[in-house]
Amino acid sequence: MASSTINSIREHVPEIATEDQEHRPVAIDIRELSRRYNDQPAVRELSLQIQSGEVFGLLGHNGAGKTTTIRLLTGLIAPDSGSSRVLGMDSMTHGADIRARTGVLTETPALDSRLTGRENLQFFADFFDIDPSRARQRIDFLIDAFDLNERESDRVGSYSRGMHQRLALARAMLHEPELLLLDEPTPGLDPIATRIVHLMIRAFRSEGGTVLLCTHNLEEAERLCDRVAVLERGQLIAIGNPRELTSRIVDQQIEIEIAPRYRDRARTAIIGAVPGVTVAAAENLVRVDGVPRERIPDLVQALAGAGIPVYRVTPRVSSLEDVYFALHEDGRAS
Amino acid sequence: MFYPLIAVSILMLIVLPLSNTLIAANTGAPAGVMAQWDSIMQRLPGDMALLIDPALSDAQRMILLGNVYVLAPFYLLIPLLVAMIIAADTFAGEKERRTLEALLYTPMSDRELLLGKLLAAWIPAVTVSIAGFLLYSVIVNLAAWPVMGEMFFPNAMWLLLVFWVGPAVAGLGLGAMVLVSSRVDTLQEATQLGGGIVLPFVLLIIGQATGVLYFSIALVVALGAGIWVINGVLLALTVRRFRRESLLLSSS
């Protein structure tokens, strides 16, 4: 059932577009937004812009300010200073209009456990003034797309966590919003449920929708997001596309395989050839951190010149996770 | 949560009037009870003449006294409790179940959200009370028919009680519970704290049963007016203080 659903969604999802997004209209424009709770800063002078049609990841630990940002954008809470515009409207003065065109997945699914899955969707369709026949079509489609058909008439209290999350996401997409604000959409989901959620996000994006994805899941962010921003204690500490951030923030790391008896000589040769790098050696592997890509041939040449046989040189591909941890280690150090 | 309410409603609308009527009809009014009632009634203002009409038999007087007067303040507990319990569920209960946040992300304005929640508690409370009143009317008239020989219930005071005071009392329970719910996080806390509002109505019951006060038409009109004024103040306070932000932050 789930795999057929995934296949049917996949047919409608083109690969992530690579076109230049600079010229698209701005969907979210945040300027120096700040908000405190009881003297604790939740968001500090946050400024960023998200283009229409973009999947934008907001990364950070618990309490980094991700949920507060969503609340500020939708006009649920007021900022202490700064401003935000969503779909061209001011969050403070047009909260209701913004919410009418935005789907929000809250961190807890916030479903009524006493109603069935279908009833939960019908209940919310009324709040968004969806024409009843259109609502029925839309609910049928979403129940099918999120693989909830077999349990749609069961009370939500009997659903698994994954089903809760899928139903909550279906509810967020019920009124065909232009913008999705997703607060941790996949924690605790099994791989199939996660895949369904990811495919739906990509399908939404392929139809021109914009997504702000708040997540801890760095692999998810790397897979889905065109750009990401990293928040720490409410402050923006990095922004860019995942690849760009990786090359900018994480030092290049390579692994060199040699015979174990050459370890010390190899360390001396490497530091001599490329000063400033960090070398760690264990068994037959030497790991070098912080070597610029253009200096790798010098390094290999130095090893060969020192009479050390080199069996393999492997650049280690850094991930968004490396970026994230590098940034947060810097944050803690500073 | 609704079971105790159903039990209280059955007790007040069925068990008490039925027992009073059947006891009076089948055993005649116990002499001690009637003597006590007569002494109470004689201390009351002049419009009690009907109740001490010597032309009525003791059984008829007991049916009238019990069903029309003694149980009148009990009836007010129905709109009060239904409104309080539903209001506690829609405000504190939503916080506890964490279903409130999804509602806050809908395009409803703060005022629509408040109005929707208030009406969702007030309309059922008033509906249940009126339905309860109809049931009560049928039961007491049918059960008392052999003794009374006519439809004696409701009188004008009861109609005012049901359609003037009852909706006001539902509003009062609702207002009190909305104020309490904004300060607590669970349904249990809300019902415990909000339960205090029942106290004045218990005093009304004791007052009526002991003859300290008497539910005359004038008293019922004044009681309703007073409660509507209090409701107006509570509503104004609630509208002024009701903000999405405070609901959201108190529920997170």
For B205-231, what is the mean pLDDT? 88
Domain identity same for A175 and A274: no
Could you tell me if residue A113 is inside a domain?
Answer: yes
Domains in chain A, number:
2
CA distance B8 to B75: 10
CA distance B65 to A187: 65
Looking at the partner chain, which of A108, A128, A168 has a beta carbon nearest the beta carbon of B107? A128
Domains in chain B, number:
1
ipTM over 0.90: no
Q: How many angstroms away from the CA of B106 is the closest CA of chain A?
A: 6
In which band, very low, low, confident or very high, does the pLDDT at B76 lie, cut at 50, 70 and 90?
Answer: very high
Q: Give the model confidence (pLDDT) of B101-125 as tens digits.
A: 899 999 998 888 889 989 999 999 9
In which band, very low, low, confident or very high, does the pLDDT at B205 lie, cut at 50, 70 and 90?
Answer: confident
Quote the pLDDT of residue B48. Answer: 53
Domain identity same for A167 and A270: no
From first CA to last CA, the distance across chain A in angstroms is: 51
Q: Do the Cβ atoms of A29 and A68 come closer than 8 Å?
A: no
Could you tell me if residue A263 is inside a domain?
Answer: yes
Could you tell me if residue A158 is inside a domain?
Answer: yes
Q: Indicate the SS3 state at residue B170.
A: helix
Quote the pLDDT of residue B42. Answer: 66
Q: What is the pTM of this model?
A: 0.76
Could you tell me if residue A203 is inside a domain?
Answer: yes
CA distance A130 to A152: 20
Domain identity same for A53 and A174: yes
Quote the pLDDT of residue A208. Answer: 93
Domain identity same for A231 and A119: yes
Q: Do the Cβ atoms of B221 and B230 come closer than 8 Å?
A: no
Which residues, 6 or more positions from A99, have their beta carbon under 8 angstroms from its beta carbon? A74, A75, B105, B106, B107
Looking at the partner chain, which of A99, A110, A127 has a beta carbon nearest the beta carbon of B98? A110
CA distance B65 to A290: 96
Domain identity same for A86 and A137: yes
Domain identity same for A217 and A268: no
Q: Domain span at residue A149?
A: 2-241
Torsions phi, psi for A174 (to 5 deg)? -60, -45
Q: Can you give the pLDDT of all 334 residues of chain A as single tens digits? A: 444 544 544 444 443 344 455 567 899 999 999 999 988 999 999 999 999 999 999 998 888 899 999 999 999 999 999 999 999 999 999 999 999 999 999 988 889 998 999 999 999 999 998 999 999 999 999 999 998 999 999 999 999 988 999 999 999 999 999 999 999 998 878 888 888 889 999 999 999 999 999 987 888 888 899 999 999 889 998 898 887 777 666 667 788 999 888 988 998 999 898 888 888 888 888 988 878 778 888 888 999 999 999 999 887 766 777 777 777 666 554 4
Q: Give the model confidence (pLDDT) of B11-62 as tens digits.
A: 888 999 998 888 887 776 666 766 776 666 666 655 555 555 667 787 888 8
Quote the pLDDT of residue A331. Answer: 55
Could you tell me if residue A324 is inside a domain?
Answer: no
Mutation target vs B (from A93, A94, A106, A212; most B CBs, 10 A cutoff) = A106
Give the count of Cβ contacts less than 8 A between chain A and B. Answer: 51
Torsions phi, psi for A38 (to 5 deg)? 45, 50
Strands (E), chain A: 26-37, 40-51, 55-59, 81-86, 89-90, 102-105, 179-183, 210-215, 227-232, 235-240, 253-258, 278-282, 285-289, 310-316
Q: Which of A208, A241, A274 is the last residue of a domain?
A: A241
Domain identity same for A196 and A262: no
Report strand pairing: A253-258 vs A310-316.
Answer: antiparallel
CA distance A128 to B102: 12
For B54-75, what is the mean pLDDT? 84
Could you tell me if residue A50 is inside a domain?
Answer: yes
Q: Show the tokens assigned to A156.
A: 């939500």
Quote the pLDDT of residue A333. Answer: 44
Q: Which amino acid is at A333?
A: A
Answer yes or no: is pLDDT of B168 > 90.
yes
CA distance B175 to B34: 40
Mutation target vs A (from B99, B105, B112, B115; most A CBs, 10 A cutoff) = B105
Q: Show the tokens assigned to B221.
A: 């009109």
**Residue A153 burial (10 A CB sphere; 0-12, 13-18, 19+):** exposed
Which DSSP string do the residues of B88-101 spell out, in sequence order?
A: HIIIIIHHHHT-HH
Three-state SS string over A39-71 comes to: CEEEEEEEEEEEECCCEEEEECCCCCCHHHHHH
For residue A40, list chain B residues with Cβ-Cβ distance below 8 A: none
Quote the pLDDT of residue B29. Answer: 63
Does A89 lie at the interface with B, CB-CB under 8 angstroms? no
Among residues A305, A244, A301, A303, the alpha carbon closest in space to that of A279 is found at: A303
Domain identity same for A143 and A271: no
Q: Give the model confidence (pLDDT) of B42-56 as tens digits.
A: 666 555 555 556 677
Q: Which of A241, A261, A291 is the last residue of a domain?
A: A241
Mutation target vs B (from A36, A77, A107, A111; most B CBs, 10 A cutoff) = A77
Quote the pLDDT of residue A47. Answer: 96
Which DSSP string do the residues of A95-159 spell out, in sequence order?
A: HHHHHHTEEEE-SS----TTSBHHHHHHHHHHHTT--HHHHHHHHHHHHHHTT-GGGTTSBGGG-
Q: Domain span at residue B127?
A: 2-251
Quote the pLDDT of residue A81. Answer: 97
- Domain CATH number, residue A8: 3.40.50.300
- Domain CATH number, residue A303: 3.30.70.120
Domain identity same for A145 and A269: no
Name the range with the highest mean pLDDT among A1-5, A24-28, B72-76, B161-165: B161-165
Domain identity same for A101 and A81: yes
Domain identity same for A280 and A300: yes
Q: How many angstroms away from the CA of A267 is the closest CA of chain B?
A: 54
For residue B245, list chain A residues with Cβ-Cβ distance below 8 A: 76-78
Q: How many angstroms away from the CA of A21 is the closest CA of chain B?
A: 28
Domain identity same for A185 and A285: no
Please name every residue paired with A315 in a beta bridge, in sequence order, or none if there are none: A254
